[in-house]
Amino acid sequence: MAVTAATAQLAARSAKYEAKPGRLSWDGTLHAERHQLVAGDTRIEHASLDWAGATRFDFAAAAASFLHAEGKAAAAGTRIAVGPLALEAERMTAEGVFQHARPDGMLPPLAGRMDAALDNVWVREPGLDWMRASHVQVGDLRLTPGANASLGRLEAQGLAVLARPGKGGFPWRLEARQAVMERATLAGDGTSSFGSVALAGARARATRTKDGFLGLPETTNEAAPDSARPRMILRRLHLGGDSRIDFVDRSLSEPVRLTLEGVEVDMSDLDSFRPDHDSPFTAKARIGAAQLSAQGRARPFAALVGGEMKGTVRALELPPLSPYAADTMGVHLQTGQLDAELALSITQGKLDGGMQLVLNELFVAQPDPNAPLAKSADMPVETVLDLLRDSDNRIRLSIPVRGDLANPDFDVSDAVGQAVGGALRSTVFTTLKVAFPLAGLISLVIDDSESRRLALEPLGFAPGSETLGAAETKRLDAVAALMAQRPTLKLTLCGVATQEGDGPALAERRRLEELGLLARLQNMVGAAPNPRALPVDAAQLTRLADARALAAKTFLVEQRNVDPGRLFVCRPRVEADAKALPRVDLVL
């Protein structure tokens, strides 16, 4: 160990040296400029150092301590470096009892009891700033040889944690107006215990990239053995209600930015050596006018993180979350608010739970017919939403969320996207089956624009007829009920005539109209020509197809009071396929 100073001034009110047992005692002051102590890879430097009090040096080999001092120290321009890690303070004062055990070539272990204060404190290493504080107040710090320590209270003002300066770096990940730690201990085996840690006026920055969160190491599912990591106990963690979190997700094709304000978190009973122990927590926050809350139990130190959580979301605006919908479901959210009830559990890395969602005024922008949501629900997105909206433009969904967090390919957003598609498909078909009890009444058709469209079972007609039968009017009653339940739903009626079925019927009708009594006599004596041999009038088939669609629309408007603005008649179609049936397609 080496101690140097550019200048040093010693003033002793009293001094005494005892040859036996080899002791130097003095009471007075010391002032040193550019003071430096070096022991191994530890370096302590002060631009200036002042000491006032009683000091005793015991040089005898049998003495319990080398240095015993009681008084007050003040230093400016302090720097304490251990390897690449350094603590720097513009000003530092400490008062109490100091004791150094006998040095053995390294920095002697410190013991004693003291109060201390530090101004403009930094803890950093090259390329990384770990901590900065404008002021730190330490109360009742007790040290004993063997690295045992206890702390009554530590208060830091203007605290900031974890930043990387320079190009390609990032600003402080956590800032707080005030941080308070109480009843802390550090044992010789590395076990640390904290009665409470509280942050007030905190601002956390969470930035997600494709490589993980900035400033945080990559997580691993392999837990280190207990012998390889020290124990940490925290009785209570509190984040004050004036805190905020700025979240940016850059892992998507379009970034997401959210600000959570009024963040308040309470968590208790954390113990790294009790991995299966439940740590209760509560949390609440605001995103704009939206209210979020959660409560449950966490197991953060388990080999596979676990816990249970229940939460609520009220009036969350959805457009800021549109990039998630675009990535997982292929749709962009134009408007909408979310109310939700969540219940999730994680056991041995297995995620299980569900969400009860109410989506208000949800509309999507330019839905892609090939979007993942459309494919997972097997129908166009706009049709899905029209079917799900109730009379108040609300969509209610029950969504299971499951997955294996231990699987590196698992992504919660992907799981939710798949679950949303499944929930939409299930809910849509349930809605339709209420009105149309037979599953066969639901199908996909190809419309005139060659797009896949969801359709109901078509209305059948007798060959050559445009009159609705009893079965068809009953089915139209169900259509009217469905449209009353889903006021945004629109229906296209496409009349179809067939050459094989309607053609002969129309030719026979025309023969009867033209020949009158002669035609009836031919029928009586069996001399009537085969209707299939008679010429087919293509224009008459087209008019028949159109008349069928108009008959269905007229029934819905005049008999069941459906708004005609929600009913559309498409271009009539004549089909030559022998299997085609005379009908009206009901396309949603």
pLDDT of 331 reads 77
Beta carbons of 441 and 432 less than 8 angstroms apart: yes
pLDDT of 506 reads 83
Residue 135 domain-assigned (yes or no): no
Confidence of residue 370 (pLDDT cuts 50, 70, 90): low
Confidence of residue 85 (pLDDT cuts 50, 70, 90): very high
Residue 207 domain-assigned (yes or no): yes
Please provide the size of the chain in residues: 588
The torsion angles phi and psi of 338, rounded to 5 degrees, stand at: -120, 130
Q: What is the DSSP string of 383-418?
A: HHHHHH--TTSEEEEEEEEEEETTSTT--HHHHHHH
Question: pLDDT tens digits for 238-274?
Answer: 999 899 999 999 988 889 999 999 999 999 999 999 9
> Between 356 and 21, whose confidence is greater?
356
DSSP code at position 552: H
Domain stops at, among 252, 270, 302: 302
pLDDT of 562 reads 94
Closest CA to 347 of 440, 276, 429, 254: 276
pLDDT at 452 over 80: no
DSSP code at position 41: T
Closest CA to 418 of 466, 380, 446, 377: 377
pLDDT at 435 over 70: no
> Between 528 and 390, whose confidence is greater?
390
Q: Are residues 53 and 107 in the same domain?
A: yes
Q: Are residues 422 and 335 in the same domain?
A: yes
Domain with 192, as residue range(s), is 147-217+229-302
pTM over 0.95: no
> Between 563 and 537, whose confidence is greater?
563
- The pairs formed by 26-30 with CB atoms below 8 angstroms and a separation of 24 or more are 26/54, 26/55, 27/53, 27/54, 27/55, 28/52
What is the rounded CA–CA span in Å between residue 325 and residue 501? 47
The residue written with tokens 């939403």 in the block is 385
Residue 33 domain-assigned (yes or no): yes
Q: Are residues 203 and 237 in the same domain?
A: yes
pLDDT of 162 reads 95
Domain stops at, among 435, 467, 495: 435
Supply the CATH number for residue 532's domain: 3.30.1330.60
Q: Are residues 417 and 554 in the same domain?
A: no
Confidence of residue 478 (pLDDT cuts 50, 70, 90): confident
Highest averaged pLDDT of the listed ranges 364-368, 401-405, 567-571: 567-571
Confidence of residue 439 (pLDDT cuts 50, 70, 90): very low
Closest CA to 13 of 31, 1, 3, 27: 27
pLDDT at 557 over 90: yes
Q: Are residues 233 and 268 in the same domain?
A: yes
The backbone region for 262, taken as left when phi is positive above 0, alpha when psi lies in -120 to 50, beta otherwise, is: left
pLDDT of 283 reads 97
Which residues make beta-bridge pairs with 203?
175, 244
Q: Are residues 311 and 446 in the same domain?
A: no
Q: Are residues 297 and 157 in the same domain?
A: yes
Strands (E), 102-187: 110-125, 128-144, 148-163, 174-186
Q: What is the mean pLDDT of residues 456-460?
A: 87
Domain stops at, among 277, 302, 327: 302
> Between 550 and 318, whose confidence is greater?
550
pLDDT at 107 over 50: no
Confidence of residue 318 (pLDDT cuts 50, 70, 90): confident
Please say whether the dihedral angle defined by the alpha carbons of residues 10, 14, 17 and 22, taken in this order, is positive or negative: negative
Q: What is the mean pLDDT of residues 516-525?
A: 53
pLDDT of 526 reads 55
pLDDT of 376 reads 61
What is the rounded CA–CA span in Å between residue 151 and residue 192? 11
Residue 222 domain-assigned (yes or no): no
pLDDT of 426 reads 67
Q: Are residues 272 and 355 in the same domain?
A: no
Q: Are residues 397 and 428 in the same domain?
A: yes
pLDDT of 438 reads 43
Of 4-18, 44-58, 305-319, 513-527, where does mean pLDDT reach its minimum?
Answer: 513-527
Q: Are residues 447 and 579 in the same domain?
A: yes
Q: How many domains does the structure of the chain reveal? A: 4
Q: Which amino acid is at 401?
A: V
Residue 224 domain-assigned (yes or no): no
Q: What is the DSSP string of 313-344?
A: EEEEESGGGHHHHHHHHS-EEEEEEEEEEEEE
What DSSP element (H or E) covers 583?
A: strand 583-587
pLDDT of 448 reads 47
Question: pLDDT tens digits for 115-158?
Answer: 999 999 999 999 999 999 999 999 999 987 666 789 999 999 99
pLDDT of 202 reads 96
Residue 122 domain-assigned (yes or no): no
Specify the pairing of strand 491-498 against strand 573-575. parallel
The torsion angles phi and psi of 419, rounded to 5 degrees, stand at: -65, -40
Q: What is the mean pLDDT of residues 195-222?
A: 83
Closest CA to 425 of 357, 377, 491: 377
Residue 132 domain-assigned (yes or no): no
pLDDT at 449 over 50: no
Highest averaged pLDDT of the listed ranges 41-50, 423-432, 485-494: 41-50
pLDDT of 98 reads 83
Percentage of residues of the chain with pLDDT beyond 70: 80
The torsion angles phi and psi of 556, rounded to 5 degrees, stand at: -65, -40
The residue written with tokens 């998507």 in the block is 252
What is the rounded CA–CA span in Å between residue 253 and residue 328? 11
Q: Are residues 347 and 253 in the same domain?
A: no
pLDDT of 295 reads 97
Q: What is the mean pLDDT of residues 346-370?
A: 81
Q: Are residues 379 and 296 in the same domain?
A: no
Residue 558 domain-assigned (yes or no): yes
Q: What is the mean pLDDT of residues 308-322?
A: 92
